[in-house]
Structure 1
């Protein structure tokens, strides 16, 4: 009886945690899209590029076409800034 209860509890915990991860994948990053909920986020350029690429990969399942366009533009701007920083001095 205890084993059956333990199996049921383990299955419930695993299902609940997998649902949480799935919901997290479908969640918009408001800091990247509308600069909301960013109070403790300080990212390097590389980290921001990684986050933008991850959000863009979510595609239209999470973002509207307009939001995706804005994310692509932010990625383009950050890549341009990185390229500018990597240019040798004159």
Structure 2
């Protein structure tokens, strides 16, 4: 009886871990990260900056350090683009 209980509890533990990992992977915004899954998604520059910042705040619980760096670079580029657009005389 205890053997069955141990097997069932181990199985439940493994399934819960797998579900948590799958959920973490689905929280990534692949469109922002790698320009994938962007069907019918057009953002203005302010919305893009907000979305990038929101994804960066998720941190390492969702993204790898390399992915976070990539998102930070995209945010910086978007901010520079906004500064260029707001410059008078251009």
Q: Tell whether the structures are fold-level matches, with TM greater than 0.5.
A: yes
RMSD of the TM alignment (CA)?
Answer: 1.5
Residue segments in structure 2 that go unaligned for 5+ positions in a row: 1-22
| Partner residue, 1:60 | 60
Deviation digits for residues 9-30 of structure 1, max 9, x if unmatched? Answer: xxxxxxxxxxxxxx58x60000
| Partner residue, 2:51 | 51
Question: Distance between the aligned counterparts of 1:34 and 1:84, measured in 2?
Answer: 24
Question: Distance between the aligned counterparts of 2:54 and 2:31, measured in 1?
Answer: 13
Residue segments in structure 1 that go unaligned for 5+ positions in a row: 1-22
Question: Distance between the aligned counterparts of 1:78 and 1:53, measured in 2?
Answer: 11
Superposition TM-score, scaled by structure 1 size? 0.70
Give the aligned length. 67
